[in-house]
Amino acid sequence: MTSLRSLDDAAFRARYGCTRFDATVLGNRFAYILEHFCSKLLACAFSPVLRDFYDFAATLTGPPERGYPTPVVSKSFVAFTGTMTESIRNTIEEYGPERLTQGDVIIANDPYRTGTHVNDMLFIRPVFHGGALSGFVNLKCHQLDMGGSVPGGFSATKTSSYENGIVLSPRALMKEGRPVDETWTLIFDNVRFAELLRRDMQTIIACLDLGERQLLESMERYGRDAVLGAMDYVCDADAERMAEALAAMPDGDWTGEALLDCDGVDASEEYPLRCAIRKRGARIEVDLSGSARQARTSINGTYLDAKTIVGVVLKFLLDPHGAFTSGCYRPVDIIIPDGAVFSALPPEGVVFAYGESTNALLAAMFSALAEPLGRGAVGGDTGAPNIHSAFGARPDGSPWVSIGVGGGERGPWGGSSAGDGDSYSIFMSANSIDTPIEAAEADQPLAIMRREYLADSAGAGENRGGAAVLKDTLWREAASHNLFTLRFKWPTGIGVRGGEDGGPGGVWLWRDPPGAGQRPRAGWAEAIGVAGRMDPVSHEPRPDGEWQYFGREKLWRTEAGATFRYLSNGGGGWGDPFARDPERVLADVRNGYVSLAGAARDYGVVILGDPGRDPEGLTIDEAATRALRDRADCATQSATAGGEDSA
Taking the C-alpha atoms of residue 532 and residue 199, their distance in angstroms, rounded to an integer, is 40
Query: 45 Cβ partners below 8 Å, 6+ apart?
Result: 51, 200, 203
- b/e code 38-63 from CB counts within 10 Å (16+ = b): beebbebbbbbbbbbbbbbbbbbbbb
**Amino acid letter, 71:** P
CA atoms of 168 and 154, how far apart (whole Å): 18
Q: What is the mean pLDDT of residues 610-614?
A: 95
Domain boundaries, the chain: 4-238, 377-580, 581-646
CA distance 344 to 233: 34
CA 306 to chain centre: 12
The answer to whether the peptide bond before residue 347 is cis (omega within 30 degrees of 0) is yes
How far from 239 is each of 234, 319, 495, CA to CA, in Å?
A: 9, 11, 31
Give the pLDDT score at 647. 45
Q: What pLDDT score does 518 carry? A: 57
d(CA 174, CA 78): 27
Instruction: Say if residue 520 is preceded by a cis peptide, omega within 30 of 0.
Output: yes
Residue range 393-417: mean pLDDT, rounded: 93
- Of the candidates 513, 483, 487, which has an alpha carbon nearest to the alpha carbon of residue 403? 483
For helices 20-44 and 194-222, the axis angle rounded to 10 degrees is 160
Interval 353-379 mean pLDDT: 95
Cβ neighbors of 302 (< 8 A, separation 6 or more) are 111, 112, 115, 116, 342, 343, 344, 351, 354
Sign of CA dihedral 140, 142, 148, 153: positive
pLDDT digits (tens, 9 = 90+) for 51-73: 888 899 999 999 999 999 999 99
The torsion region of residue 244 among left (phi > 0), alpha (psi -120 to 50) and beta comes to alpha
Residues facing 285 on adjacent strands: 278, 333
The confidence score (pLDDT) of residue 56 equals 95
Cα atoms in the Cβ-side hemisphere of radius 13 Å centred on 242:
27
Which DSSP symbol is given to 19?
A: -
Mind listing the pLDDT tens digit for each residue in 563-585?
Answer: 999 999 999 999 999 999 999 99
Q: What is the pLDDT of residues 243-295, one digit of tens each?
A: 999 999 999 999 999 999 999 999 999 999 999 999 999 999 999 999 999 99
Compute φ and ψ for 642, nearest 5 degrees: -60, -40
Question: Which pLDDT value is given to residue 626?
Answer: 94
**What is the per-residue pLDDT for 492?**
95
**Is pLDDT larger for residue 82 or for residue 453?**
453
